[in-house]
Amino acid sequence: MNNVTLHTLSALKQDGKKFAVLTAYDACFAQLVSNAGTEVILVGDSLGMVLQGHDSTLPVTVEEMAYHTRCVASGNQGSMLMSDLPFMSYATPEQAMLNAGILMQAGAHIIKIEGGAWLAETITLLAERGVPVCAHLGLTPQAVNRLGGYRVQGRDESSAQQMLDDAILLEKAGASILLLECVPSLLAGEISRAVSIPVIGIGAGAQTDAQVLVLHDMLGITPGRKPRFVKDFMSESDSIAGALQSYGDQVRAGTFPADEHGFA
Which residue numbers are catalytic? Answer: 181
46 binds ligand KIV (CB under 6 A): yes
Question: Which one of 44, 75, 115, 174 is in contact with Na ion (CB under 5 A)?
Answer: 44
Of 48 and 75, the one with the shorter C-beta distance to ligand KIV is 48
Q: Are strands 199-202 and 210-213 parallel, antiparallel or unpaired?
A: parallel
Q: Which of 39, 84, 181, 217 binds Na ion (CB under 5 A)?
A: 84
Give yes or no for a contact between 45 and 89, defined as CB atoms under 8 angstroms apart: no
Site for ligand KIV, residues 65 to 84, rule: CB under 6 A:
84
Task: Please identify, using beta-carbon distances, which residue of 42 and 244 lies nearer to ligand KIV.
Answer: 42
How far is CA 154 from each of CA 140, 163, 208, 246, rounded to the nearest angstrom?
A: 12, 7, 15, 30
Nearest distance, CB of residue 212 and ligand KIV, angstroms: 5
Q: Helices 93-105 and 120-128 meet at what angle, rounded to 10?
A: 40
Q: How far is the CB of 16 from Na ion (least distance, A)?
A: 27
212 is a contact residue toward ligand KIV (CB under 6 A): yes
* Residue 93: cis peptide before it, omega within 30 degrees of 0: no
Q: How far is the CB of 189 from ligand KIV (least distance, A)?
A: 18
Contact flags string 121-160 toward ligand KIV, x per CB under 6 A: ----------------------------------------
Instruction: Tell whether residue 201 is a contact of ligand KIV (CB under 6 A).
Output: no
Q: Which of 215, 230, 151 is nearest to 183 (CA)?
A: 151
What is the chain's alpha carbon radius of gyration, rounded to the nearest angstrom? 17
List the one residue out of 90, 179, 176, 94 whose CA is nearest residue 133. 176
- Closer of 43 and 131 to ligand KIV (Cβ): 43
Nearer to Na ion, 45 or 217 (CB): 45
| Residue 45 in the binding site for ligand KIV (CB under 6 A) | yes
The helix/strand count (H/E) of the chain reads as 11, 8
- Please list, in sequence order, all residues whose beta carbon lies within 8 angstroms of the beta carbon of residue 12, skipping any fewer than 6 positions away: 18, 19, 39, 198, 209
- Choices 40-48, 61-69, 91-99, 243-251 (CB under 6 A): range interacting with ligand KIV: 40-48
Residue 43: strand pairing partners: 83
Residues that bind ligand KIV (CB under 6 A): 23, 42, 44-46, 84, 179, 181, 202, 212, 214
